[in-house]
Amino acid sequence: MTFKTSPFKWMIQALAYLAFAAGIAYFSSSQKYDVLSSDQTIIKLSFTHPGQRKEECRRRTAQELAKLPANMRAPKLCARERWPVLVVLELDGKTFLSESRKPRGLSNDGPSSIYRRFPVLAGRHRLVVRIKDRKQSDDFNYTLDRVVDLQPLKVTVIGFDNAKKRIFIKQ
């Protein structure tokens, strides 16, 4: 069967191409998507911090050291497992996040990491961050309580400085 073409058919073909091109253009970049409203802002909580060891290190006795090969006579014996790190974030008195992060590694001996992103309304807020890296029955050992002025769409990062052992807010 031979297909016969004509100027009219060429015109319809052109229209079909045009419709396809319009569809591509429209869905490729013409459609806006609102990720965040302009009165909101983002708080990012992110840090990596090792929990304390579950058991304190102790000095090996002379007898224990004597039993070990000469190249393995480390004076201290430390259990590897660490406590999970508990993070609590409060905004204007309301708990926003309460999450316990397990230590990394098969033996639970690595640091704990957390990354969370929250959209919140911009403005003045009282921000309280508590971190506990030890036995769960103990109190939080790091706390930051601050009134912050969150600018619209400005990212606020909450982190933990392992060198200075303190929680910080970076705006």
Partner 1 sequence: MRNLLQNFVLHIEAGYDRPFGPAWNPLRQLGTLTFFLYWVVAGTGIYLYIFFDTTVAGVYQSIDSITFEQWWAGGIIRSLHRYASDAMVVMALLHLSREFIFDRYRDVRWFTWFTGVPILWFLMFCGISGYWLVWDVVAQYIAIDSMEWLDWLGIFGEPLANNFLAPGSLTDRFFTLLIFMHIFAPLILLIIMWFHVIRVSRPKINPPKGLAVGILVMLTILSLLYPAVSQPPANLNLAVSQVNLDWFYMLFYPVFDTIGASAMWGASIGISTLLLAMPWLPPMKKPSPAFVLLKDCNGCGRCYEDCPFGAVTMGTRTDGLHFEREAIVDPDLCTACGICVGACPVSTPFRHTDNLTTGIDLPDLSLDLLRENTYSAAKRTTVSGSTNTMAPRILIFGCDHGADVRLVEGPGVAGISLPCIGMLPPSFIDFAISRLDIDGVLLTGCRECDCYNRLGNTWMDERIAGDRDPYLRTRVPRHRLRVCWAGRTDMQHLNDELEHFKTSLTSENEPT
Q: How far apart are CA 141 and CA 153, in angstroms?
A: 31
Interaction of residue 135 with partner 1, rule CB under 8 A: no
Give the side-chain half-sphere CA count within 13 A for 23. Answer: 6
Interaction of residue 5 with partner 1, rule CB under 8 A: yes
Nearer Cβ to partner 1 (42/65): 42
Q: How many residues bind partner 1 (CB under 8 A)?
A: 45
Closest CA to 88 of 125, 127, 134, 122: 127
Map residues 41-80 to x or -, x wherever contact with partner 1 holds by CB under 8 A: xx-x-x-x--------------------------------
In single-letter form, the type of residue at position 68 comes to L
- Alpha carbon distances (Å) from 63 to 57, 67, 73, 76, 87: 17, 6, 11, 13, 42
Interaction of residue 168 with partner 1, rule CB under 8 A: no
What residues make contact with partner 1 under the rule CB under 8 A?
1, 3, 5, 9-10, 12-13, 16-18, 20-21, 23-25, 27-38, 40-42, 44, 46, 48, 104, 110, 113-115, 117, 119, 153-155, 157, 170
